[in-house]
Amino acid sequence: MARNLKPRHKASRRFGENVADTLKSPLDKGKTYPAGMHGQKKTFSKTSEYGRQLLEKQKAKAIYGILEKQFHLTFKKAQKLPGDLGSNLLLSLESRLDNVIFRSGLATTRRLARQLVTHGHFTLDGKKAAIPSMKVKAGQVIKVKENKVKKGYWSALNERIDEIEPAGWLAFDKKELTITINSLPSNDEMPKNIETQLIIEFYSR
């Protein structure tokens, strides 16, 4: 299975925001320029319209931790859906199983959520769910497998379980370790740090 293994902090410095979801970021230390000896000089160079479009696409890929082929496929599927293309693209990305685990608060980063999914920690409506890109629907229930609950990660999670605050479109049962998808996110609940119009323009060239 293809994975995005590029250094997370370098990506954050390149895009000028914490795309890795980590608590600590090089941006906190004022390193708001790309890594490397010429990083600071690059911040002064003028970026073309194509460069802005490319950078926004790359940033979206970094945020969700997916590679070009899968991202492009997601875009093409979003094109076939009725309604606004930008909203459809974000909705497709937000409804990925690994992203839902992240949004629920059960994983502090999307990379960790992806790892938990691929290692078979969850079921979806009672069935095995080990593919990060699986799409969830309103009304479905994600549950931590009973044979995983008392092991490593989950036993440690109990220490901070009361601090978990899921996204508004999700319901988290702390006792049963289940996530119920009450609805898919509305436009107001979508991430605001991705300019989908630039991505649309990039693929429309």
Give 103-141 pLDDT, tens digit per residue: 999 999 999 999 999 999 999 999 999 999 999 999 999
Based on the fold, state whether residues 22 and 45 are members of the same structural domain: yes
Q: What is the CA radius of gyration of the chain?
A: 18
User: What residues pair up with 170 in beta bridges, in sequence order?
Assistant: 181
Asked whether 67 and 5 are in contact (CB, 8 A), the reply is no
Is 3 contained in some domain?
A: no
Q: At residue 187, what is the residue type?
A: N
Q: How far apart are the first and last CA of the chain?
A: 29
Based on the fold, state whether residues 12 and 84 are members of the same structural domain: yes
Place of tokens 């497998």: 145
What CATH number should be reported for the domain holding residue 144? 3.10.290.10
How many percent of the chain have pLDDT more than 90? 72
Closest CA to 194 of 4, 75, 77, 63: 63
d(CA 38, CA 145): 48
For the chain, where are the alpha helices, taking DSSP H only?
8-15, 39-42, 49-64, 68-79, 85-94, 97-104, 110-118, 152-157, 196-203
d(CA 50, CA 80): 24
Based on the fold, state whether residues 176 and 198 are members of the same structural domain: no
Closest CA to 65 of 18, 14, 111: 111
Q: What is the pLDDT of residues 160-181, one digit of tens each?
A: 899 999 999 999 999 999 999 9
Is 2 contained in some domain?
A: no
103 lies in which domain range?
A: 96-181
Determine the pLDDT at residue 4. Answer: 56
In total, the chain counts a number of residues equal to: 205
